[in-house]
């Protein structure tokens, strides 16, 4: 339960309101307990044949007390529940801020649905604790104290007897809730499975339709839904005890009151007014008793949820700034050096890069080629620090990359990831995503370099065209070029193009490359491609193979070497040309 103390900082921020809330609870409860006492007095007065004036006065007092107590009830909600919403805001904000810091690896390994579940269910559970649970436990404690004291002062024996069933109720509520909670966790798991299943199905609907897998998918979904129904019924079997138990136990209290209290009245140890008051008091205690078991459970759930949230909070932030970070670095020039860099994705996984040493002078263009899955993407991800090297060092401008503040580093790297991700926003907002201010001129410039302008001119909404999710309503090449334009727009010192022309035709590519040449004049660039035509003009070409740089040099030099590069080049030539060559 120590984890719950981590919430103290949130409570502290709202100390004032919370203390007020507690004060309001106190006032409201105090006024409320007078109602049964007035009732008792009025009934006793009736039996003593009092005047009707007195009775009217009692009636008025009862109503007045209710008004005062009601007003403070209102104030309680306006303080404590409002605070709980504020804390929820803080919790969610902190959660999101933390997510923004987590490393690429975390997001690769964790499904979006899973993170969403934490963001919704777990935060909601914690809010229940900070709001309603806190409110009810304070309320319950105060009410119990006052009510039981008064009841004891009226008749201790009767109090003891009729309150006896209540702890049993609390106990059952607690036990049942615990069981229900267990079942509930199982239900949540299936629910999350159903969600994930639907999510993937709808995202992959093109595949499902192409391969006519609808019937199979529906059956799979029906099976999971039926499992969900079963688990729900398992829970309901237990949950259904709840109400009957409640009736039974509170009803028993009342019957005891009538029976034992009635006997006492007959024996003149008690008045009928006392019974009326007790009846009311019981009514006042029943809900807090239930709340008691319920709160105990909320606390447990909040604890479990906090535990899950903490696994995210405790998730190692792999790539971060550290002692080495030199905050004085505000600019970078763009020369890059790899020094004995090795990299692997996990201890038990094979090396992707082994002892790679490489220099990329400022303003030059490096091209990387190599087989599918050889590690090209992995290598450039080290430069923008999506991952950190396993061993060795990378230097930019001669400074260790880890000493450069992350945002300085990334603000100077224009990255075009191999897989395009666009937001479901306008084209303009996507292209200018990395730029602080909207700027039409810049927009036109980068759209022109990436040859997107011609396509956009055909769209009726031009740059205000709103894209579907992930840019679904653009053609493959249009998506890629939007991503290129986005990288250019931040005016980077280093530009990284990871297979960024794979969906672009050769002619357009050629045009982009020509325009880029101008743009890249004194910037460093890294281009990954499978096409010789894309890489042939680079200042330096490296061929990655088996985790090392197998070949390195300019196009012509590599052709002379007659190795892997030559082989690729040879294979990309048209056969008839080869025939002509003889």
Partner 1 sequence: MSCNVRGSGGNNSAKSQNPDDEILGKAYDSKLMKRLLSYVKPYKKYVVAAIFVNIVVAALGAIRPYLTKIAIDDYIVNSNYDGLVTISAILFGTLIFQAIAQYFLTYYTQLMGQNIIYDLRVKLFAHVQKLALKYFDKTPIGRIVTRVTNDVESLNELFASGIVMIFSDIFIIIWILIFMFAMEWELTLVSLSVLPFLIYATFLFRRKVRESYRDVRFQLARLNSYMQEHITGMSIIQLFSKEKKEKTNFAEINDAHKIANINSIFYFAVFFPIVEMLSSGAVALIIWYGGGNVIQGTMTIGVLFAFIQYTEMFFRPIRDLSEKYNIMQTAMASSERIFKLLDNDTIIENPTSPKAINNFTGNVDFKNVWFAYNKEEYVLKDISFSVNTGETVAIVGATGAGKSSIINLLNRFYDVNKGSILVDGIDIRDISKEDLRNHISIVLQDVFLFSGTIASNINLGDSSITEEQIINASKTVGAHGFISKLPEKYNAVVKEKGATLSVGQKQLISFARALAFNPQILILDEATSSVDTETEILIQKAIEKLLKGRTSIVIAHRLSTIQNSDKIIVLHKGEIKEVGTHQQLLSKKGIYFKLYQLQYKDQEVK
Ligand X SMILES: Nc1ncnc2c1ncn2[C@@H]1O[C@H](COP(=O)(O)OP(=O)(O)OP(=O)(O)O)[C@@H](O)[C@H]1O
Tell how many helices (H) and how many strands (E) occur in the chain: 26, 10
Q: Give the per-residue contact string, 164-203, with ligand X (x = CB under 6 A; - = no).
A: ----------------------------------------
Q: Is 478 in the site for ligand X (CB under 6 A)?
A: yes
Q: Is 300 in the site for ligand X (CB under 6 A)?
A: no
Give whichever of 270 and 415 is closer to Mg ion, judged by the CB atom: 415
**Total residues in contact with Mg ion, by rule CB under 5 A:** 2
Sign of the alpha-carbon dihedral angle for 318, 322, 327, 331: negative
* Residue 356 beta carbon to ligand X: minimum distance, rounded to whole angstroms: 13
Identify the DSSP state of 421: -
d(C-alpha 408, C-alpha 178), whole Å: 51
Give whichever of 308 and 361 is closer to partner 1, judged by the CB atom: 308
Number of other CB atoms surrounding residue 299 within 10 Å:
17
Tell me the CA distances in angstroms from 304 to 84, 137, 178, 336, one per residue in order.
18, 19, 12, 47
d(C-alpha 181, C-alpha 175), whole Å: 10
First-to-last CA distance in the chain?
A: 81
Residues 429-458 touching ligand X, rule: CB under 6 A, are 455
Of 216-224, 227-235, 368-376, 566-574, the window that binds ligand X (rule: CB under 6 A) is: 368-376
* Residue 134 beta carbon to ligand X: minimum distance, rounded to whole angstroms: 43
Burial of 209 (0-12, 13-18, 19+ CB in 10 A): exposed
Q: Where are the alpha helices (DSSP H) in 415-500?
A: 427-431, 440-449, 453-458, 476-489
168 binds, among ligand X, Mg ion, partner 1, none (CB under 5 to 8 A by kind): none
Based on C-alpha coordinates, what's the Rg of the chain? 36
Q: Is 502 in the site for Mg ion (CB under 5 A)?
A: no
Residue from 418, 448, 491, 552 binding partner 1 (CB under 8 A): 418
Q: Is 477 in the site for ligand X (CB under 6 A)?
A: yes
How many Cα atoms sit within 13 Å of 224 on the Cβ side? Answer: 17
Which residue in this structure is represented by tokens 């080290």?
382
d(C-alpha 538, C-alpha 363), whole Å: 11
Residue from 377, 390, 448, 533 binding Mg ion (CB under 5 A): 377
Residues 42-61 touching partner 1, rule: CB under 8 A, are 42-43, 46-47, 49-50, 52, 55-56, 58-60
Q: Is 298 in the site for partner 1 (CB under 8 A)?
A: no
Residue from 6, 15, 116, 331 binding partner 1 (CB under 8 A): 116
Q: Is 171 in the site for partner 1 (CB under 8 A)?
A: no
* Residue 352 beta carbon to ligand X: minimum distance, rounded to whole angstroms: 5
Identify the DSSP state of 562: T
Residue from 243, 266, 373, 574 binding ligand X (CB under 6 A): 373
Q: Is 313 in the site for partner 1 (CB under 8 A)?
A: no
Per-residue tokens: 524: 């460093």
Contact criterion met (CB below 8 Å) for 418 and 501? no
Q: Is 237 in the site for partner 1 (CB under 8 A)?
A: yes
Q: Is 372 in the site for partner 1 (CB under 8 A)?
A: yes
From the list 547, 546, 543, the residue with the least C-alpha distance to 567 is 543
Residues 542-571 touching partner 1, rule: CB under 8 A, are 559-560, 567-571
Of 35-43, 209-217, 358-366, 375-383, the window that binds ligand X (rule: CB under 6 A) is: 375-383
- The footprint of Mg ion (CB under 5 A) covers 377, 418
């Amino acid at each position: 339960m120590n984890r719950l103390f981590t919430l103290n900082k949130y409570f502290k921020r709202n100390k004032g309101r919370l203390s007020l809330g507690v004060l309001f609870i106190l006032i409201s409860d105090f006024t409320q307990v007078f109602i049964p006492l007035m009732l008792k007095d009025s009934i006793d007065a009736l039996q003593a044949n009092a005047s009707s004036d007195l009775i009217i006065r009692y009636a008025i007092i009862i109503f007045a007390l209710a008004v005062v107590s009601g007003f403070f009830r209102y104030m309680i909600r306006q303080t404590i529940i409002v605070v709980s919403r504020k804390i929820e805001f803080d919790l969610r904000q902190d959660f999101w801020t933390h997510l923004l810091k987590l490393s690429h690896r975390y997001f690769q390994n964790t499904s979006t649905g899973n993170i969403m579940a934490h963001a919704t269910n777990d935060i909601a559970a914690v809010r229940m604790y900070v709001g309603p649970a806190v409110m009810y436990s304070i309320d319950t404690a105060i009410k119990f104290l006052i009510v039981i004291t008064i009841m004891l002062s009226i008749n201790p024996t009767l109090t003891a007897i009729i309150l006896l069933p209540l702890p049993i109720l609390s106990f059952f509520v607690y036990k049942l809730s615990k069981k229900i909670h267990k079942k509930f966790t199982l239900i949540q798991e299936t629910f999350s499975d159903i969600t994930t299943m639907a999510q993937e199905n709808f995202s992959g609907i093109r595949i499902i339709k192409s391969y006519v897998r609808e019937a199979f998918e529906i059956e799979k979904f029906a099976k999971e839904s039926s499992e969900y129904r079963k688990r729900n019924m398992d829970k309901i079997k237990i949950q259904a005890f709840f109400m009957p138990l409640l009736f039974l136990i509170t009803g028993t209290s009342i019957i005891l009151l009538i029976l034992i209290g009635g006997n006492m009245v007959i024996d003149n140890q008690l008045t009928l007014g006392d019974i009326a008051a007790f009846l009311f008091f019981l009514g006042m205690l029943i809900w807090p008793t239930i709340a008691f078991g319920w709160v105990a459970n909320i606390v447990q759930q909040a604890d479990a949820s906090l535990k899950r949230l903490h696994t995210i909070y405790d998730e190692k932030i792999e790539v971060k700034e550290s002692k080495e970070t030199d905050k004085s670095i505000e600019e970078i020039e763009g020369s890059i050096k790899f020094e004995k860099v090795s990299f692997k994705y996990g201890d038990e996984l094979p090396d992707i890069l082994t002892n790679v040493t490489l220099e990329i002078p400022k303003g030059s263009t490096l091209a990387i080629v190599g087989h599918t899955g050889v590690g090209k993407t992995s290598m450039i991800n080290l430069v923008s620090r999506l991952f950190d090297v396993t061993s060795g060092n990378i230097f930019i401008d001669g400074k260790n990359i880890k000493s450069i503040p992350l945002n300085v580093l990334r603000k100077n790297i224009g990255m075009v990831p191999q897989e395009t991700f666009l937001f479901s926003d306008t084209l303009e907002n996507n292209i200018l995503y990395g730029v602080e201010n909207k700027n039409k001129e810049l927009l036109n410039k980068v759209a022109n370099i990436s040859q997107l302008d011609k396509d956009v001119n055909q769209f009726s909404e031009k740059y205000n065209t709103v894209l579907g999710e992930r840019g679904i309503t653009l053609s493959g090449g249009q998506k890629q070029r939007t991503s290129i334009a986005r990288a250019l727009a931040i005016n980077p010192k280093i530009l990284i193009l990871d297979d960024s022309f794979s969906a672009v035709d050769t002619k357009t590519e050629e045009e982009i490359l020509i325009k880029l040449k101008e743009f890249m004049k004194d910037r460093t660039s890294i281009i990954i491609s499978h096409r010789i035509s894309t890489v042939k003009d680079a200042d330096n070409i490296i061929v990655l193979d088996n985790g090392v740089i197998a070949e390195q040099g300019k196009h012509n030099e590599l052709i002379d070497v007659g190795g892997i590069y030559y082989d690729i080049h040879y294979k990309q030539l048209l056969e008839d040309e080869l025939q002509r060559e003889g």
